[in-house]
Amino acid sequence: MSGIANVFIAYAARRAAAPFERAVADTRAAQNALLAERMRRNRDTDYGREYGFAEIRSLDDYAKRVPVVDYEDLRPRIDRITRGEKNVLTAEDPVLFAQTSGTTGKPKFIPVTPTCRKAGGLTVWLHYARHDHPGMFKGQIVTIVSPAIEGYTEGHLPYGSTSGMVVKEMPGIVQSAYAVPYDAFEIESYEAKYYALLRLGLAANVTFLATANPSSVLMLAEMADRNAESLIRDVRDGALSDAFEVSPAIRAALAPRLKADPARAKALEAMRARRGRLVPADYWPGMALLGCWKGGTVGAYIKKLHAWYDPDGEGMVPVRDMGYLASEARMSVPISDRGSGGVLTVHSNVFELVPAEDVDARPDDHESWRYLPAADVEVGKEYYVFITTSGGLYRYDINDVIEVVDRYKTAPVVEFRRKGRGMTNMTGEKLSVNQLIQAIQVAAEAVGTQVAHFRGEPDLQESRYVFKLELAAPLAADRRRVLLESIDHELGRLNIEYQAKRKSDRLRAPVLQVMREGWYERGKQKLVAEGRRLFQAKTILLDAKQGYRPEPDEVEGEERLG
């Protein structure tokens, strides 16, 4: 990285960290001030007038006047915004909609306003990371993002990826620090996109790699080794293999970066010959930091990275969690490499946190729950998150469970634990129980069978789902495979993020286990024997908490794809 780019990034990061530091010095005051500012700016919107934003003076007032909502509650209003209507949720017009999957099968369109984009959560992250790892900007950066714009709404407003937009609109001096130009992220095929990233990355001295999902970091390493001969040949010749589908326009845009480098190719070949495989520990020996998620259900991937980044056992490259973030907002900023905890973003979002025990006790009675301000939560306890953003989400139930693990000054340090009620998430697919119910119903009808009972379980070790089905009548083995294929296809149709993770193989092909007759009732009786009352002994249809539990004595048959 050039000295100018390094100075520019350091300056921007330092500026972004200043309001963050002011806020964490007095979380209660910062949250009250932020709420007052949100109410003032948006009091004359449709939503603000309906719920009396002008009269709200405190978090207590806010909780009394404004309802708790989820996306489906807001969908009619957001649909109006996507059609071009103004002043519905925010006084600011959105510049982009972040598209993500919805629990009903319809995608969600999260409004992103100019203020959202100025929150600077990633830049704050970079400030603390650079302080602890000054070598991360000595070479070049590799990141992985989705396309900035994936389409347009009825009102001709763009929707796509906020991280992609950040990379696309970075100043030229900053873009020069990246080994892979934005154009590569517009490649449609996942395999072709990752190959292009590797072709450009292997030719560079990369010292910092960042992407939220560690499965992507692992896939890059595996794909580089699998395609080593082709990649080395392309580096030598200054080419990009024709075996991968890349449009002529994108090939032309990447061409200036595809310099022939016989010396680098020779070095890569020697690395491969010496070890018998191509690993990032050899071709990126100066790697100072990996940025990706470390906690929750994706933590298992971190252990797998050691074989690629520390094959000799001499010391793993430092890994810093990227923080608790979603399409709706960035909700934490990790400021150390320890664990996966991050400081709650009290400078940019208003938080209300409900003890998980309240929700577990009365999951359908949100009025009975205790909504605590961020300043009042306790270390060691789990909470559901309700967030107010600058994009027009007010008291928004994001249905996530976090644990408060520490404090930084007066602000909570939190770790993401799991998706909440009726959802699970291994690689970012955010699968809901409603989607699974619908997929199984459609698939069963398509193959002409009936499912008496079912349960979906995430197999974290294999990064796949296991669907346990007790059928109402016997089904031939070939039809069982069709049933599994249909469930997989239908889940992709209902959930765009499930589809994307399956296409990129970050989420591997699911497994169908046909359970013996009476499996459901035996499980129910076991719960009763363990002390549950009969009416409480309900089988969880999508088990996010326990994960995959083998039941070999209950499995009548098993089907796999691939």
Q: Report residue 275's pLDDT band, with 50, 70 and 90 as the boundaries.
A: very high
Q: Backbone dihedral region of 313: left (phi > 0), alpha (psi from -120 to 50 degrees) or beta?
A: left
DSSP 8-state secondary structure symbol assigned to residue 90: -
DSSP at 178: B
Per-residue pLDDT of 491-504, as tens digits, reads 999 999 899 999 98
Burial 151-165 (b: 16+ CB within 10 A, else e): eebeeebbbbbbbbb
Question: Tens digit of pLDDT for each residue in 37-96?
Answer: 999 999 999 999 999 999 999 999 999 999 999 999 999 999 999 999 999 999 999 999
Averaged pLDDT, 188-202: 95
Predicted confidence at residue 468, as pLDDT, reads 94
pLDDT of residue 237: 98
Question: Which has more pLDDT, 361 or 223?
Answer: 223
The pLDDT score that the predictor gives to residue 544 is: 64
Torsion-angle region of 77 (φ positive above 0: left; ψ -120 to 50: alpha; else: beta): alpha
507 SS3 class? coil
How far is residue 72 from each of residues 232, 386, 433, measured CA to CA in Å? 50, 15, 15
313: number of Cβ within 10 Å:
7
Q: What is the mean pLDDT of residues 439-459?
A: 90
| Res. 532: pLDDT tops 60 | no
pLDDT class of 103 with cuts at 50, 70, 90: low
The neighbouring-strand residues paired with 468 are: 455, 513
Pairwise CA distance, residues 545 & 428, whole Å: 16
Contact predicate 91/42, CB 8 Å? yes
Span 118-135, pLDDT tens digits:
887 899 999 999 999 999
387, β-bridge pairs: 351, 396
The structure's pTM equals 0.81
**How many beta carbons lie within 10 A of that of residue 517, not counting itself?**
14
Structure-derived torsion over alpha carbons of residues 351, 357, 363, 367, reported in degrees to the nearest 10: -60
What's the CA gap between 238 and 199, in Å, rounded?
A: 9
Asked if the model's pLDDT at residue 422 lies above 80, the reply is no
What integer pLDDT is reported at residue 365 of this predicted model? 87
Work out the number of other CB atoms within 10 angstroms of the CB of residue 229.
11
- Note the pLDDT of residue 534: 37
Burial of residue 263 (number of CB atoms within 10 Å: 0-12, 13-18, 19+): exposed
Per-residue pLDDT of 219-258, as tens digits, reads: 999 999 999 999 999 999 999 999 999 999 999 999 999 9
SS3 436: helix
Percentage of residues in the chain with pLDDT exceeding 90? 70
pLDDT over 70, % of the chain: 95
How far is it, in rounded angstroms, from Cα 359 to Cα 338?
29
- Which are the contacts of 283, defined by CB distance < 8 A and separation ≥ 6? 202, 224, 268, 271
Burial class (CB in 10 A: 0-12, 13-18, 19+), 477: exposed
- pLDDT tens for 143-165 read 999 999 999 999 999 999 998 99
At residue 535, the pLDDT reads: 35
Question: Within 206-290, where are the H helices?
Answer: 214-226, 228-237, 248-254, 262-275, 280-283
Label residue 426 by pLDDT band (50, 70, 90): confident
